[in-house]
Amino acid sequence: MSRNALKLSVAVAVVSLSTLVVVSTIARPGIGNPVAEQVNMTRPDFDRVFSDAESVNSAFTDADRETLRHIGLKRINEARPSR
């Protein structure tokens, strides 16, 4: 193998390994279990969101708020692991 080919092979190997090191250390978003973050919301926290929404003038009626609240609670309860 000629000297230039050897230098090229070494350079490609160094660049490849450097790229691998950089890519492996990049912080990835929480893709492992994104539902787990939603499950940690407590009921008082969840209710506070709706009480804050009530304090703001909005076009939602009370029935709309309750419907959304029940849908949200259903989603949280479905996301929790069974005991």
pLDDT at 29: 58
Number of domains in the chain: 1
User: Which amino acid is present at 20?
Assistant: L
Residue among 81, 80, 83, 82 at smallest CA distance from 41: 80
Could you tell me the residue range of the domain that residue 67 belongs to?
A: 3-79
Rounded to a whole number of angstroms, the CA Rg of the chain reads 26
pLDDT at 32: 56
Contact, 46 vs 72, CB < 8 A? Answer: yes
pLDDT tens digits, 29-57: 555 555 555 556 777 888 887 787 777 66
What's this model's pTM, rounded to 2 decimal places?
Answer: 0.32
**What 3 state SS string does 22-35 have?**
HHHHCCCCCCCCHH
